[in-house]
A and B are shown apart, each in its own frame.
Chain A
Amino acid sequence: MGLETENKDIETNLREIARGLLKDKKVDVIIGYMEGTLPMLSQPIIIDSEEDVEKLIWNNLCYVNLAKYLVPRVPKFVDSEKGNLTVGVVSKGCVGRALIHLASENKIKLDEIKIIGIPCNGVVNRQRIEMEIGEKEILEVSVSGNNVIVKGKDFEKEFPFDEYMNDLCKTCKIRKPPLVSKAPDLCVGECEEYSNIVDDFSDIAEFEALTPEEKWNQITEELSVCTRCYACREACPMCYCNLCFVDQNKPVWFGKTTDLPDVFVYHLIRAMHMAGRCVACGACSLVCPVGIDLNKINRKLEKIVKERFNFTSGLDPDVLPPMVDFKMEDAQEFMLEED
């Protein structure tokens, strides 16, 4: 079955479920995606009535990590009398993981949201397609079979979806929404219980195999165009600090310029702060106005956390992330000699 039909089915089910939730007043509002005004984009939409349910869409252009709108809650999710409204969140795997992880960090109360789990087969790698099309305007994007068809004024090109989806989506292990028994949720289609995610991290094998010098060259080349706009930080649902380390001035940890030492330190420290917290949603690389993608580093950190602490973020709201917790069994071979 082609992507188009799959997505259409999911979309119909989603609207049905959304209608039901609003009708039965199980939720006050629902946040999901709607048609964008540009060919390769979608918009987030907040609906509170059954009539608007038809605006909800589901396709391979649903990029934004909707968990961002819950920490902090946008004004439409808070009522002056009732307080926090119950929000239904259309959650593909990474959005669901983000919500659950934020619940483990006490930024979300799971009983104030409803995770509407939705199966996701990945999002289109917009930046890669735009780069391959080059300097020609893309006017229409559609999906047919398993191909993404991109049309312009005088061109039409087909891209096999399997290859032209986001790199993170290629190795995603939670394409079916997570069914977390402690979290009140619903499913559009099949859900799966993930007590553990089996991930061989084969996507970063090539990166890992590079020599330190090659890694340095690759990373610094990627970062050479950074403008220090901090869009990556603003888009990440896990970046919710009131005062980011970048902006502190007692002391000033490092500079704010686009010189390589400053850029390098910013991105790597932010990656460190994501260790054990990143849910691999790709929002950071999507948002970047100049197309920086450092997700290989985030994936590597995810692998190390898995190996050392047997932890994957966003699966259990009651388990603290390893960087804010300790267990007596934690390996300490870098500090103490074995007896």
Chain B
Amino acid sequence: MPNPYIPMLTRVKSIISENEVRDIKTLELEFQKKEEYKAFDYIPGQFAEISIIGKGECPIGIASSPTEEGTIKFTIKKMGTVTSSFHNSDIGDTIGVRGPLGNGWPMEELKGQNIVVIGGGFAFSTLRSLVLYILDDKHRKDYGDITVIYGNRDSGEVLYRDVLEEWEKRDDINVVLTIDREEESWTRKVGFVAAVVKEVAPSPDNAVAIICGPPIMIRTAVDELVKIGWKDEKILNSLEMRMKCGIGKCGRCNIGEKFVCIDGPVFSLAELKKMPNEY
């Protein structure tokens, strides 16, 4: 078994700025060794430890879906020294990737159910992977109705405009985009995510809700869901924690007896309630 600490080497194929203030970029990476790409068997919701070797490593959720062949994508927000060096990288630069890591969204268990995807701001990256996977011709019939509710502070912050516009055109997915405050050129909904959830009122029957976003958004959105009958076991969350090894050895991402990097990052609300409030 290969040494899990040694990164696989990839090259930057493209860098796209995702938002107006240009602090969120999506890096598209292609593996230098074809067999390593083939072995990189991931499902939506998993993450990888990516690094500019020499600058540092950090855990980033995989934004591309396994159905998008050839490359993998990561959406990175510029926050500290390591993420800044990703932003400053050029096409052709070498990026180390260790992964896929984490448990990912439970794609098997989700089959046959309706999926309600609720995202806020920058946390939408693994949700992009999830929705693209489900919408793919190979998988679409395995899943029921899909509703996507995606909220942002303002229209400049909306990620993945190209795929969102594609989804809006389809009739097998209901996309509801919203921003916090009215803007001149914005024709879609206005309001906080929780308010939109209340309005859309997705039915809990045979459905799973997947929520990713800032803690307050999650809290308020979950409140609305619970009011209309959603149960804790059917609400899924993806946690973020400080991680270093990503493989459950360095110890720092523990919440009680669980490690976010191997037992998570996806946890149901029911599981989270049993864990100590240290995340």
A and B touch in the complex (CB under 8 A): yes
Instruction: Name A's B-contacting residues (CB within 8 A).
Output: 249-250
Q: How far apart sit A250 and B80, CA to CA, in the bound complex (Å)?
A: 9
Question: Is there a chain A Cβ closer than 8 Å to B3's Cβ?
Answer: no
Is B185 close to A, CB under 8 A? no
Which residue from chain B places its CB closest to the CB of A250 in the assembled complex? Answer: B81
Q: Enumerate 4 A-B pairs (CB-CB under 8 Å) in ascending A order.
A: A249-B80, A249-B81, A250-B80, A250-B81
CA distance A249 to B81 in the complex (A): 8
Query: Bound complex: CA of A32 vs CA of B81, how far in Å?
Result: 44
**Cβ–Cβ < 8 Å partners of A249 in chain B:** 80-81
Total interface residues in chain B, CB < 8 Å: 2
- Chain A contacts for B80, CB-based, 8 A: 249-250
Inter-chain CA distance A249–B84, complex, in Å, is 13
What distance in Å separates the Cβ of B120 from its nearest Cβ neighbour in chain A?
28
**Which residues of B lie under 8 Å from residue A250 when comparing CB positions?**
80-81
A250 to B83 Cα, complex, angstroms: 13
Q: How many A-B residue pairs have CB under 8 A?
A: 4
**Contact mask B73-86 → A, CB, 8 Å, 1/0?**
00000001100000
Alpha-carbon distance between A250 and B81 when the two chains are bound, in angstroms? 7
Question: How far apart sit A21 and B68, CA to CA, in the bound complex (Å)?
Answer: 75
How far apart sit A185 and B81, CA to CA, in the bound complex (Å)?
49
Q: What CA separation (Å) do A249 and B80 show in the bound complex?
A: 9
Name the CB-closest residue of B to A251: B81
Contacts of B81 in A (CB 8 A): 249-250
Closest Cβ of chain A to B85, distance in Å, is 12
Q: Chain B, 119-133, contact with A by CB distance < 8 Å: what is the 0/1 string?
A: 000000000000000
Q: Which of B196-218 contact A (CB under 8 A)?
A: none
A250 to B85, CA, bound (A): 12
Question: Closest A-chain residue to B56, C-beta based?
Answer: A249
Which residue of chain A has the shortest Cβ distance to B81 in the bound complex? A249
Which residues of chain B from 63 to 96 have a CB within 8 Å of any chain A CB? 80-81
Residue of A nearest to B84 (CB): A250
A79 to B141, CA, bound (A): 61
Separation in Å of the B81 CB from the closest CB of chain A?
6
Give min CB distance, B56 to chain A, whole Å: 9
Q: How far is the CA of A332 from the CA of B81 in the complex (A)?
A: 38
State the CA gap A249–B58 with chains docked (Å). 14
- Nearest-Cβ distance from residue B15 to partner chain A, whole angstroms: 23
A250–B84 Cα distance when bound, in Å, is 11
- The smallest beta-carbon distance between A333 and chain B, in angstroms, is 40
A134 CA to B80 CA, complexed, in Å = 49
Min CB distance B84 to A, Å, is 9
Q: With the chains together, A17 CA to B81 CA distance in Å? A: 55
Query: How far does the Cβ of A247 sit from chain B's closest Cβ, in whole Å?
Result: 13
Q: Which residue of A lies closest to B82 (CB)?
A: A249
Separation in Å of the A64 CB from the closest CB of chain B?
28
Q: How far is the CB of B242 from chain A (nearest CB, A)?
A: 13
Q: Top 4 closest A-B pairs, CB basis?
A: A249-B81, A250-B81, A249-B80, A250-B80
Closest CB-CB distance, B256 to chain A, in whole Å?
23
B78 to chain A, nearest CB (A): 13
Look across to chain B and name the residue whose beta carbon is closest to the beta carbon of A252. Answer: B81
Q: Give Cα A123–Cα B80 distance, bound, in whole angstroms.
A: 46
Bound Cα distance from A77 to B240, whole angstroms: 34
B234 to chain A, nearest CB (A): 39
The CA of A249 and the CA of B242, in the complex, are separated in Å by 15
Could you tell me the distance between the alpha carbons of A192 and B114 in the complex, rounded to whole angstroms? Answer: 80
Query: Would you give the shortest CB distance from A229 to chain B, in whole angstroms?
Result: 16
